[in-house]
Amino acid sequence: MTLATKQPAAEGEAVPGPRHHLLSVLVENRSGVLARVAGLFARRGYNIFSLAVAPTEDEALSRISIVVDVESTPLAQIVAQLDKLVNVVEISELHPAAAREAELLLATVVAGPAERAQVIELVDLYGGRILDVSLQAVTVMVAGPPEGLDDFEELVRPYGLQGVQRTGRVALPRLRNSRSEGPREI
């Protein structure tokens, strides 16, 4: 199996490598496959920055999005080990410049009557929704690029956070008519 990589369109230009790489792993949609993938990472001591899994448009397959820390382990080694798993169908690395990434954030923000309008304005600015309201807090949902969620979280932190949960990154390659190339074989 070869690793298909989505790279930015600039031809011949060196691209600085990010510390974290996003792997899109297509696997058979069977019981125990996620446990085998996670077990491989645990046995080898690979660090997972985030992990998300869901069925694809083909009910026989699932896509696992894994953000890996390549400072602790070379990417080629991680891919080689994943490729040995029987239920792995395809492995693609999605370069951030050639992919559409998204993440979901749920947060309960301390917001009494005096601060509530400011918090709601921030939620609106980031395209989020209010899910729950009490006298002293609001629970919000914001989805978007991971960097945008980092910014949102930083802006609401001064109000006080009672809880934050993020899903981890999911991504798909940009469409061909957008500013990217197709898969590059490594």
In a domain, 22, yes or no: yes
Give the structural domain span for 78.
4-99
Structure tokens at 57: 């448009």
Of 72, 99, 126, the last residue of a domain is 99
147 and 158 in a single domain? The answer is: yes
DSSP state letter for 16: P
Kindly report, residue by residue over 79-134, the tens digit of the pLDDT: 999 999 999 999 999 987 888 999 999 999 999 999 999 999 999 999 999 999 99
Report strand pairing: 180-185 vs 4-8.
antiparallel
Q: Domain tally for the chain?
A: 2
Q: Would the pLDDT of 184 be above 80?
A: no
Percent of the chain with pLDDT over 70: 85
Q: Structure pTM?
A: 0.74
